[in-house]
Structure 1
Amino acid sequence: MDSLLEFFNQYDNTTRLTLVDGFLAVFLSFILTVIITQVYKLTYKGQRYSQSFVQTVIIMGVVVSLIMIVIGNNIAVAFGLVGAFSIIRFRSAMSDPKDIAFIFFGMAAGIACGLGFYLLAVIFTFSLCVLIYILYLFDYGKRGGEPRVLKITVPENLQYDGMFDDLFEQYFLSYSLTRVQTTNLGTMISLEYEVEVKEGVKDKEVIDSVRERNSNLNVALNYASTGY
């Protein structure tokens, strides 16, 4: 009888410790992922900001911390969870590759909290947040030019090969022809280029120069997607 009571007391103490660890891991992972998403909001430069994505990073961090507590050192449970989560399919495409990095960032913080490495989780989160902000502050990795999409309409009988090369060399760091298609019932041709405009070059300068050679037809210089 005494051994049975001792077993239940030991079981009760273990349960209480597990609950305390669980609440601590959830609370800390929530705080850390909120900090991570604040850095994400501060450094985001894309055109498709998503509130749902920000909340997803927080939720995933908390869920992963609980998963790590449940798994513990039990290999069987780990394989069971792998099988359970393998049926999940994510069909939404990421518009910005950096979004994937923030997802792994939140998950890593959650894993550290779930395993009980609370100090490591805090140090890791704050250190990486500082590094991300430094990269944002110095605009690291940006090239000198600005991406644009240049669309030029030319007459169907005009030989356009090499016609604008000298202008492109003057105004652009790089350029490439990406699409050629007929328009206006086949009487005209639409050319589409991906270009990188040199610093200091005005859009009007480019448009006016091109219009002098394409018979004053339509020219459009659009801002390219900055998701990358």
Structure 2
Amino acid sequence: MDWLSTLSNGGTVEWRRAVVALLVAFGLTQGIAGVYMLTFRGLSYSRTIVQSMAMGSIITCTLMLAVGNNIAAGIGVAGGVTAIRFRTTMRDPRDVVFVFASLAIGMASGAQAYGAAIAGAVMFSAASLLLHVTGYGSRRQPDGLLRFVAPAGQAGAEIAGSIARILREHCRTFSLVTLREAAQGTVMEHAYQISVHHPDLRVQLVTSLQGVPGVEDVSLMLQEPTLDL
């Protein structure tokens, strides 16, 4: 057992502290990773980012345990880390924040500041959940882009009232985006950004416009507001 005592530099107590610190770092960052998965919004979900949170905390915790109060060791570790070139880029700032939070939890655990690590993880997770539930920072986006073709000239002026009435009945807001001539000036192509009162009214809106004499090629391109692209 002499070799074990030599490696541990002080007996089994140091090993126990290291194991506890690593388990605390891993456990807390597992919770942060779970909050990330729960509150994720978007299309580019990456499993590797979630896994890197837990693994990154173990690395930073190990470095803090190795350095301890040794300034020379800290300088050596800092020099070794700066020599590494990380080529991975994250397009979403939110991903960077979660990874950085996991690294910070690992550093606090490695420094055996368990109170700071637990309080920081709980506060960060609670803040993330609160911002997700309240939709903080989000803005109301149009539900979609409505396109249709209507007659030009006097015929178009006669049905303009019917089109406006249908839009007012089904839409909370509507805004004309483009209006251009087509088919040698015989028809006008309309494009509106719209927000309907209720998603169930989308089909009724398209059907009502198709029932207006002269209105053709009605299409509604939906844009899902729950996704951050």
Query: Within 5 A, what are the aligned runs for 1:21-40?
Result: 21-40=17-36
How many Å apart are 1:14 and its aligned residue?
Answer: 4.8
Q: Aligned partner of 1:132: which letter?
A: S
Distance in 2 of aligned mates of 1:69 and 1:151: 60
Match of residue 115 from structure 1: 111
Q: TM-score, normalised by structure 2?
A: 0.65
- How far residue 69 of structure 1 moved from its aligned partner, in angstroms, is 3.0
TM-score by length of 1: 0.65
* Residue in structure 2 matched with residue 171 of structure 1 by the alignment: 171
CA distance in 2, matches of 1:129, 1:190: 49
**Pairs aligned (count):** 210
Q: 1:126 to 1:213 in 2, by over 3 A?
A: farther
Structure 2 contact 25–105 (Cα < 8 Å) conserved: yes
Matched, 1:220 2:220: yes
Shift of 1:32: 0.3
Whether the 8 Å contact between 2:8 and 2:14 is mirrored in structure 1 is no
Gaps of 5+ in 2: 180-186
1:202 is aligned to 201
Counterpart of 2:184? none
Q: How does 1:10-159 map to 2 (within 5 A)?
A: 13-14=9-10, 19-72=15-68, 73-74=71-72, 75-85=74-84, 87-91=85-89, 93-94=91-92, 97-143=93-139, 145=140, 147-150=142-145, 152=147, 154=149
How well do the aligned residues superpose, as a CA RMSD in angstroms?
Answer: 4.4
Q: How far off its partner does 1:213 sit?
A: 9.0
Instruction: Report if the CA contact (8 A) 1:210-1:219 is conserved.
Output: no
CA shift at 1:113, angstroms? 1.0
Contact residue 146 and residue 197 of structure 1 kept, 8 A: no
The AA in structure 2 aligned to 1:220 is L
Partner SS, residue 222 of structure 2: strand
Please list every run of 5 or more consecutive structure 1 residues that lacks an aligned counterpart in the other structure: 1-8, 181-187
| Displacement of 1:208 | 4.1
When residues 88 and 48 of structure 1 are mapped into structure 2, their CA distance, relative to the original with a 3 A threshold, is closer
Q: Does the Cα contact within 8 Å between 2:206 and 2:218 map onto a contact in 1?
A: no
Deviates more, 1:209-218 or 1:118-127: 209-218
Distance 1:80 1:112 in 2: 20
- Closer, same or farther in 2 for the Cα pair 1:191/1:119, shift >3 Å? farther
Summarize the Cα distance change of 1:133–1:214 in structure 2 as closer, same or farther, 3 Å threshold: farther
Q: Deviations over 1:16-43 (max 9, x none)?
A: 6654443222211110011112222333
Rounded to whole Å, the distance in 2 between the matches of 1:65 and 1:172 is 53
SS in 1 for 2:217: coil
Distance 1:133 1:66 in 2: 29
User: C-alpha separation between the residues in 1 aligned to 2:77 and 2:220?
Assistant: 56
3-state secondary structure, aligned to 2:147? strand
Whole-angstrom distance in 1 between the partners of 2:192 and 2:56: 40
Q: CA 1:150–1:82 in structure 2 vs 1: closer, same or farther (change >3 Å)?
A: same
Measured in 1, the distance between the counterparts of 2:59 and 2:192 equals 45
Structure 1 counterpart of 2:97, one-letter code = A
Please list the CA deviations of residues 98-136 of structure 1 after superposition, one character each: whole Å capped at 9, or x if unmatched: 333322221221121122211210121122222332333
What is the percent sequence identity of the aligned residues? Answer: 22
Larger radius of gyration: 2
Alpha carbons 1:175, 1:196 under 8 Å: kept: no
**Partner amino acid for 2:145?**
L
